[in-house]
């Protein structure tokens, strides 16, 4: 059997995407790693890794990259929609333009790749699409509502896509990470700030705690997370849902609680004031 061809978005070195790239390559796959800037992927050394520039918010770039991979390889076996961005802050304080940018990357970027790749996979009646959501897309926390809502949309989209792609022979997996060590929070440094007239200035300690939660001691190393995900992805029958990472178990437990109790519990974790 020919090597599996894998296309992954959001592969900046230091992130979850980069760890997935390395792991798929180690498993013998040909991996096309993409990011907006090619130099953001400097450091990949495995001979099975190729890099391409891709901004998932640009429709023409999405089709250009997908066509390029298909032209070179004649197939795409696995698509991982990993590109994403954070949007910390109280919902009413996040500028509308930032909200739009978050959805353009997290939701519409995922949708664009799916629309471009599904017809290619359907030709061979095989393939796997992995959409990266978040435990925050299942139960949101304070101070990260825009991000959580965008991931909730990804979750809904993925579940529907799994139903619609089944008759085409294509598997779809929703990947819901908990806390994984990456540059996710670091990318917020120097970018996030509360408006001077924010109604929530007193809650800044709680907001900053939320910003760095995913990188605390319970955070799972990205390479360990990638090992688990790729192991599931390369099974004969990959699951339609997989969650792992720090705090993922408590989110699983909370999914059985009354909704109001789960939301109250998460409020108590991030309601610190100055």
Catalytic residue set = 147, 151
Q: Answer for the pair 28, 233: CB distance below 8 angstroms, yes or no.
A: no
Say if residues 215 and 185 touch (Cβ distance below 8 Å).
Answer: yes
Count the Cβ atoms, other than its own, within 10 Å of residue 236. 4
Per-position b or e across 58-83, b if 16+ CB within 10 A of its CB: eeebbeebbeebbeebebbbbbbbbb
What are the residues whose beta carbons fall under 8 Å from the beta carbon of 242, sequence distance 6 or more? 173, 174, 175, 176, 228, 229, 232
Percentages of the chain per state (helix, strand, coil), in multiples of 5: 50, 15, 35
Q: What is the largest CA-CA distance in the chain?
A: 61
Q: Residue 124's Cα: distance from chain center in Å?
A: 26
Q: Which two tokens stand for residue 230?
A: 């790729």
Question: What are the b/e assignments for 149-174, b being 16+ CB within 10 Å?
Answer: bbbbbbbebbeebbeebeeeebbbbb
């Amino acid at each position: 059997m020919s090597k599996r061809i894998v296309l992954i978005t959001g592969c900046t070195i230091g992130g979850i995407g980069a760890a997935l790239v390395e792991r798929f390559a180690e498993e013998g796959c040909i991996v096309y790693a993409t990011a907006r800037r090619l130099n953001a992927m400097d450091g990949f050394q495995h001979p099975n890794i190729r890099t391409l520039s891709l901004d998932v918010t640009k429709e023409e770039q999405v089709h250009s990259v997908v066509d390029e991979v298909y032209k070179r390889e004649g197939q795409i076996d696995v698509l991982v929609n990993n590109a994403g961005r954070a949007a910390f802050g109280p919902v009413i304080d996040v500028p509308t333009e930032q909200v739009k940018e978050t959805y353009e990357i997290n939701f519409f970027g995922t949708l664009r790749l799916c629309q471009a790749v599904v017809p290619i996979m359907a030709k061979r009646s095989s393939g796997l699409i992995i959409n990266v959501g978040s435990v925050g897309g299942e139960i949101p926390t304070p101070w990260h509502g825009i991000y959580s809502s965008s991931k909730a949309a990804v979750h809904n989209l993925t579940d529907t896509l799994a139903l619609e792609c089944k008759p085409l022979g294509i598997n779809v997996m929703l990947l819901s990470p908990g806390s994984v060590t990456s540059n996710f929070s670091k990318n917020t440094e120097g970018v996030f700030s509360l408006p001077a007239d924010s109604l929530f200035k007193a809650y800044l300690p709680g907001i900053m705690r939320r910003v760095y939660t995913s990188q605390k001691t319970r955070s799972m190393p990205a390479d360990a997370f990638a090992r688990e995900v790729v192991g599931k992805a390369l099974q004969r029958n990959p699951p339609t849902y997989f969650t792992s990472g720090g705090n993922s178990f408590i989110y699983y437990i909370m999914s059985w609680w009354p909704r109001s109790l789960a939301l109250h519990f998460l409020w108590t974790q991030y309601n610190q004031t100055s």
